[in-house]
Structure 1
Amino acid sequence: EWDDDSGATEGFDQFGYDGEDFIAFDLKTTKWIAPAPQAVITKLKWDSDTADNEYRKNYYTQECIDWL
């Protein structure tokens, strides 16, 4: 999302399972948030992939914005 007035950008990457939130990416911390206990193992694995997390942050704050 791009705020025309301030130029601020915001985005998200979120996954669900069986109609419930499973895991979401926090752009500010470049870490995954696991609201479901079942997602903790996935969170730990995905948090350790710092290169992919930096790519996601860049994608949602730069590349996607260029498309808007």
Structure 2
Amino acid sequence: MRLEDMRALVFGGAGFIGSELAAKLLLEGNEVTVFDSLYTGKMENLKGLQGKKGFKFIKGDMRHLEEV
């Protein structure tokens, strides 16, 4: 399966592993939305992705269904 031309939602995407996954997916031509509460994740992990076409960040907590 090729991971391109998809829409991806990465929970915890501002953490180290999540941000690397988001970067890889974006590099392969996917639209990527990162959803993170920033409790342990950091915006600095996403600095290379911000402003890129197809990237979106949402600050929220997945434990609160209305935020998802």
> Shorter-chain-normalised TM-score: which range?
under 0.3
Q: Which has the higher contact order (CA 8 A, sep 6+)?
A: 2
TM-score, normalised relative to structure 1: 0.26
TM-score, normalised relative to structure 2: 0.26
- Looking at secondary structure, tell me which structure has more helix per residue: 1
